[in-house]
Amino acid sequence: MEAIDGFVYAEPDKQHKLQTTYTPNLLGLSQFDGAWGGTLFGEGVVIGVIDTGIHASHPSFNDSMMPPPPLKWRGRCRSSGFACNNKIIGAMGFQNGTRAPATDDDGHGTHVASTAAGNFVDDAEVLGMAKGVASGMAPRAHLAIYKVCFQPYGCSGSDIYAAIDQAIKDGVDVLSMSISGAPDATFYQDPVAIGSLAAVEKGIFPCAAAGNDGPEINTVNHDAPWVLAVGASSTDRRIRAAVKLGNGMELEGESAFQPSSFDSTTLLPLVFPGMYGDLNASYCVKGSLDYIDVYRKVVLCWSGAIKDTEKGEVVYAAGGAAMIVMNLPLQGYTTFSEAHTLPAAHVSFVDGMKIRDYVYFNSTPTATIVFDGTEFGVRPSPAVAAFSSRGPALMNGGILKPDVLAPGVNILAAWPFDVGPNPSALATKTFNFESGTSMATPHVSGIVALIKKVHPNWSPAAIQSAIITSAKDLDLDGNIIADGNSNNTADIFATGAGQVNPAGALDPGLVYDRSASDHIGYLCGIGYNDTEVTMMARRRVRCSGVKAISAAQLNYPSISATLNSSMQSLTFERTVTNVGKASEVYLVRIREPTGVRVDLSTYQLKFSRVGQQKSFTVRLSMQGSHGLLAAARGKLEWVSKEHVVASPIAISFT
């Protein structure tokens, strides 16, 4: 291979995993007003979805009111099994270096594609729950589908790289990648990092899932600064299925299957199959209930080991009347409204322990499930999903990741198959609730499409800055966003800048911009050698001829530092570009992290024209005590009469 003209580098192939109606309104998007108003719903923008393919005949992908593909579009349908239209304007499958159909046999790709750019569908629901109008974040954007994930093999790195390369050639504007990376992978080993760097150089914006390995620290995926890493948050909607115990205690739970035939007034015997130490029975895995009497009983199961819906099938096959799924400790308060095959409720770890203790200390425990349908106003909201991967990032030199949060818990979107206890093969308008940073990512890629429509000449770095500096770190009650693992305040390495804010991102006032060459200088600056940077850049690079840029000095919209007794201060240089009003004055507002002093070279920025740039320095110094804190959160805001430009400050104490 080395003899082939243009050869730069070869890497052994690796497998990657998938990161698995209400949310547009929740984020301020409305058919009649709000941030959708001036964006034409993303019309003409092309979102490339790299995933499991698509169920093209779903109503979410009809091309009603859709214009033809833009003139720049060079892609086409290269997939057997379905024809493209003005919504799906390209489709191609990549499997082990060969062409493959782009039809979705999993559901994941269909779900994320409709979340990003699904068209409006009336009367969307899951088993009668959450009924309303479904749509993606950019319902008039076009979709280009690149299937790289195949059951049961996963998603190969070489296919991911080939798909990104094809998407660049085809002319997509946004890349949406709800696929895993590895927290400790070097950039030159990561096909998403390599491919996305090439995409950014062509003006294409890459979004990727931060990962589902939370709440453990240092688990965030896709931490390259040119990729927007998206964490998952909850919404204030719940499909309520409360557990009522024989002692009168009532505990909150969720389930999408809420049969009217179930008699919630009758208490049934309650049994925990794992009561005597049988681990398989405690998880209700297949075969574990064969010799346990669960007939016409409510069965208590730990979450984990297999899908919760599969547990329901096991309980139902064993004769159980209903099921309660208890979160494991690390799953905390994040619960799922899934399409079960029997009456069920999914409860938090804390409430699950109350139920388990009730079983342990009562000779004849009983329970029932009370179904209350769709509820709004759940608090705290948004909260970081317990599963959402956390920083600090391991490989990027200290840049804050994830960048932002987006809704990723119980997201209703298109599904290729009917769900629930009696699925119909003839059903066509099928939706499902899914959870994961996979579901959060297409929310942001759709929002990027809206920004691209309004600001077609903005660089990917400018769009990234607009999203980060406009994000909201407060929940609906004005408190710092909570962590779904504990319901306590989340640290900044869980939230990043906070919840994505479409309206703010469309009009950020100032942006922290970067050139494509800055990323090459950054790679040299954080210690990659000539060979490794060449692999990333896909062209020969000598770091001796490049201006090296440290992670701290990269013009990133967030500020992150590790401070200790030997590194008690650090200075950052930043440059902002005016994209707001021609004449605007900004004053600084600082929320200092605990134990850290923040000083600036200037406390006022005056602009007289659009496109004007101003530079300043930020010095972070240890001051006083940070106690036992391992991390601290702060914020640097530039405030004018029209705009608030917020940069999160993340501190690690070592």
Query: Pick the catalytic residue: 60, 180, 388, 438?
Result: 438
Q: Which two tokens stand for residue 144?
A: 């280009």
Kind plus residue range of the DSSP H or E element containing 619: strand 613-622
CA–CA separation, 122 and 140 (whole Å): 16
Q: How far is it, in rounded angstroms, from Cα 405 to Cα 196? A: 20
148, 156 contact by CB (below 8 A): yes
Active site includes 79?
Answer: no
- What is the side-by-side strand order in the sheet with 596-600? 510-511, 569-578, 613-622, 596-600
> Over 26-47, what HEC string results?
HCCECCCCECCCCCHHHCCCEE
Dig out the tokens for 54 from the structure. 């698509």
- Strand 250-251, strand 631-639: pairing: unpaired
Please give the Cα distance from 392 to 633 (Å, whole number). 13
Residues 6+ away with beta carbon under 8 Å from 426: none
Spatial contact of 117 and 136, defined as CB atoms under 8 Å apart = yes
Q: Which listed residue (16, 51, 222, 455) is catalytic?
A: 51
Tell me which residue has tokens 């407060």: 474
Active site residue 51: yes
Taking a C-beta distance cutoff of 8 angstroms, is the pair 202, 211 a contact?
no
Torsion angle of C-alpha atoms 384, 388, 392, 397, degrees rounded to 10? -120
Q: Is 475 a catalytic residue?
A: no
CA angle 624, 627, 630 (to 5 degrees): 110
Q: Contact, 302 vs 328, CB < 8 A?
A: yes
Residue with tokens 């080939």: 162
> Which residue in 16, 58, 108, 222 is the catalytic one?
108
Q: What contacts 209, CB < 8 A, 6 or more positions away?
A: 19, 177, 178, 179, 180, 221, 222, 229, 230, 436, 437, 438, 440, 441
Q: Which residues are catalytic?
A: 51, 108, 438
